[in-house]
Amino acid sequence: MTKKNIPFAKAICYSGYRDGQSPDCGDFPTYEQVKQDLLILKNDWKSLRLYGSDEHSKTVLHVIEAEKFPFDVMLGAYVTAEVCNENCPWGGLYSDEQLRSNKQHNEQQIEELIRLANRYPAIISSVSIGNEAAVAWTDHLVPTESLINYAQQARSQVEQPITFCENYVPWLENLRPLADQLDVISIHTYPVWEFKSIDEGLAYTIANYQAVQDAYPDKQIIITEAGWATNSNGRGIESDNVNEWFQQQYFHQLMNWAQEQQVLVYFFEAFDENWKGSPDPLEPEKHWGIYHADRTPKLVMQS
């Protein structure tokens, strides 16, 4: 296969859902809300990662094109469970009818990913066929054979590099057949979810990256999620291991390393999203942004 790499850039994960909005309820950010977000981000970031080929992503692409904003985009397809996963702690069991519906949804997502990649070739710099759909704990497990089919389908119809965004562990275990079909391998690494202290954080991230690079020496390895939460209720992340000072420290260490090594890293994430996770306001899933949900900057972006 012809090798296609993704250029280095300052990169961040972007999902613009405001309070009261979510992909689950079908209430999406408006053109003006997305424009406001991108005006906040455009002086610090060049590349955005979007998770799905959905209405939100279409609005983002429209805004970038219409406003002539200097972003490029990694566009994803949000694929859902095609098989049950008894290893998921929060529910990975579905009826056969639901799994059939999910499969149809996934096929439509890949088709829309391809359509948008060809509609916006100057903006979409790479495409991802899924997100965290192969790791042991996922609630949207997709068999490797399906992911391979989606990668092959995308490769045959788009010019951009093809990737798949996943926790670093499956790349070291069962995803080698998929890796053979990809231009770029995208890993997620979260030291704080694995009970590492802030002083261990960067070294652990680099070790995760290097393990996958060693396993695939001929592939470009990038990081599509790495970050440090700023709050936690203690479930999954110790509450005394997260705050805005730790986020600032990890951010600067990681981004300095990325610049020095020219490793593409999409920092997770731009804005807090209060729709995520449990109703508990200290749920860690809600607190990964470098900006609060009201768009005021956290400590890392105040300097």
Over the chain, what is the mean pLDDT?
97
pLDDT at 173: 94
Report the number of distinct structural domains present in the chain: 1
- Secondary structure of the chain: what % helix, strand, coil (to 5)? 40, 15, 45
User: Domain residues for 191?
Assistant: 10-301
Does the pLDDT of residue 121 top 70, yes or no?
A: yes
pLDDT at 242: 98
Does the pLDDT of residue 183 top 80, yes or no?
A: yes
Q: The domain spanning residue 288 has which CATH number?
A: 3.20.20.80
Burial 26-58 (b: 16+ CB within 10 A, else e): eebbeeebbbbbbebbeeebbbbbbbbbbebbb
pLDDT at 3: 73
- Measure the CA–CA gap between 148 and 223, rounded to whole angstroms: 20
Interval 267-288: pLDDT, tens? 999 999 999 999 999 999 999 9
Does the pLDDT of residue 89 top 70, yes or no?
A: yes
pLDDT at 279: 94
* Helix/strand/coil for 235: coil
Does the pLDDT of residue 303 top 80, yes or no?
A: no
- Determine, yes or no, domain membership for 2: no
Does the pLDDT of residue 80 top 70, yes or no?
A: yes
SS (H, E, C) 135-194: CCCCCCCCCHHHHHHHHHHHHCCCCCCEEEEEEHHHHHHCCHHHHCCCCEEEEECCHHHH
Answer whether 210's CB lies under 8 Å from 203's CB: no
- Determine, yes or no, domain membership for 4: no
- Determine, yes or no, domain membership for 59: yes
The conformational region for residue 84 under phi > 0 = left, psi -120 to 50 = alpha, else beta, is beta
Confidence of residue 235 (pLDDT cuts 50, 70, 90): very high
pLDDT at 127: 98
Does the pLDDT of residue 70 top 70, yes or no?
A: yes
Helix (H) or strand (E) segment spanning residue 48: strand 47-50
- As a whole number, mean pLDDT of residues 85-95 equals 95
Q: How far apart are the first and last CA of the chain?
A: 44
Confidence of residue 228 (pLDDT cuts 50, 70, 90): very high
- Measure the CA–CA gap between 10 and 187, rounded to whole angstroms: 17
Among 23, 88, 13, CA closest to 291: 13
pLDDT at 1: 66
- As a whole number, mean pLDDT of residues 247-265 equals 98
Apex 189 CA angle, 187 and 192, nearest 5: 170
- Determine, yes or no, domain membership for 5: no
- As a whole number, mean pLDDT of residues 101-127 equals 98
Confidence of residue 39 (pLDDT cuts 50, 70, 90): very high
Helix (H) or strand (E) segment spanning residue 111: helix 96-119
pLDDT at 234: 95
* Helix/strand/coil for 49: strand
